[in-house]
Amino acid sequence: MTNTRLRTYIMHVEDLPGVLNRVTSLFRRRGYNIDSLTVGRTEVPAVSRMTIVMEADDDAARRIEANLYKLVNVLKVEDTTRRPCVTRELALIKVRADQARRAHVLQLAEVFRARVIDIAPEAMIFEITGTRDKIEGLAGVLAEYGIVEMVRTGAVAMLRSAGAEAEVQEQPRTSAA
């Protein structure tokens, strides 16, 4: 089975020292390459939430899930790949733009709904939130003006349907078919 694609996992883990290390150590040890990883608090005390984006085929994806469940501090893992889900990422882009080109750059940014958060004589900083495609789109057009630096948060994701987030302890899918 191939079907290699970027996959987004949502994980709930116990908020304890070293848990992030356990998760990343697992990915490293099994040779999986993380595309992006974000961690933060949740609405539940002592539970953190991670969004992990990585490339994997169907088989590897199922095994990753099963391996993550073997970590004692992992509460819940969801592969969002085949489920309705919203994904957002935030980027700050500092672009070279003197007075002469500023208006033009601003116009472009407008198309992508990016916000200006800093203006200096030689450069300006945009803040953009959106999907990976949208951010890469903006970065692409700004590249012509010269990107001084860029920082991205990596994706955060949430399943669409209400109720899907109920506090359940899912077991990994075990059927082979």
- Residues that bind another protein in the complex, under the rule CB under 8 A: 13-14, 17-18, 21-22, 25-26, 29, 59, 62-63, 66-67, 69-75, 169, 171-177
Output the smallest distance, CB 70 to another protein, in A.
Answer: 6
For the record, the structure tokens of 175 come out as 């059927």
Minimum distance from residue 104 beta carbon to another protein (Å): 51
Closest CB to another protein among residues 25, 42: 25
Nearer CB in complex with another protein: 133/167: 167
If the CB atoms of residues 49 and 62 are measured against another protein, the closer one turns out to be 62
C-beta of 171: minimal distance to another protein in Å? 6
The strand pair at 5-14 and 123-130 is best described as unpaired
The answer to whether 11 and 77 have CB atoms below 8 angstroms apart is yes
Measured at the CA of 114, the angle between CA 113 and CA 116, to 5 degrees, comes to: 135
Q: How far is the CB of 67 from another protein (least distance, A)?
A: 5
Rg (CA), the chain: 19
Say what angle helices 19-29 and 58-70 make with each other, to 10 degrees.
140
